[in-house]
Amino acid sequence: MRIACLHTAHSNVAVFEDAALQLGLPAGVLCHGVRPDLLADAEAAGGVTAQIEDATQRALMELAFSADAVLLTCSTLGPVAHTMLSQTRVPVLRTDAALAQAAARVNGRVVVLCAVATTVQPTTELFLHAAAHHPLAVVDVRLVEGAWALFKAGQLSAYWVCVARAADAAYAQGAAQVVLAQASMGGAAQLVTAGPRPLSSACAGLAAAVKACQAG
């Protein structure tokens, strides 16, 4: 079994390798492609343009040649995964899709935190779609102001603290469950003290990729 991951942040390589360890996967199961330019271009354009979508598709196709499943780990680019269904025999999944399904099973207000502005719209669409069949889940997607600037400056600890504070504030306001929409936010989960440990995408997405490999 070989799972290829397409990231837009170098730090997410370690995040997904750690998730693989947590899931008990053998060493070497994951391979990684890192394209920070795709997210940078989307940020500059205010969203995913046709050109960015095309470049993302090419990157996913390249990874699919030597993998049993491909995992797109960037939430901003996530919708591109759906366009790959007719282009490759290898399943291409977005890492936050399984996360959205898990969140939809929560009874009560689910606060979904995003760090990048370009992630808010695709994340909202994904989570609302997942919750459509679970009327007891009320989805509230929020942008954590100032968080992404810390991440881009390489201040990961401060980034996670900023996200954790937003999660604690959501719990203080009555959230039943907080969700960290982007894989890079996962390190904040252990810092949250005001409620249940937030759901994060790396393990959920990777588990879905393993399942897809086994089904194939």
Kindly report, residue by residue over 64-123, the tens digit of the pLDDT.
Answer: 999 999 999 999 999 999 888 777 789 999 999 989 999 999 999 999 999 999 999 999
Question: Is there a single domain that holds both residue 107 and residue 72?
Answer: no
In this prediction, residue 216 has a pLDDT band, given cuts at 50, 70 and 90, of: low
DSSP string, 45-85: HTS--HHHHHHHHHHHHHHHTT-SEEEE--TTTGGGGGGGT
Domain holding 18, by residue range, is 3-95+203-215
Question: Is there a single domain that holds both residue 175 and residue 143?
Answer: yes
Contacts of 136 (CB under 8 A, 6+ apart): 106, 107, 108
In this prediction, residue 134 has a pLDDT band, given cuts at 50, 70 and 90, of: confident
Question: Is there a single domain that holds both residue 136 and residue 189?
Answer: yes
Q: 3 - beta bridge partners?
A: 30, 69
> Which pTM was predicted?
0.89
Question: Is there a single domain that holds both residue 152 and residue 211?
Answer: no
Q: Which amino acid is at 145?
A: E
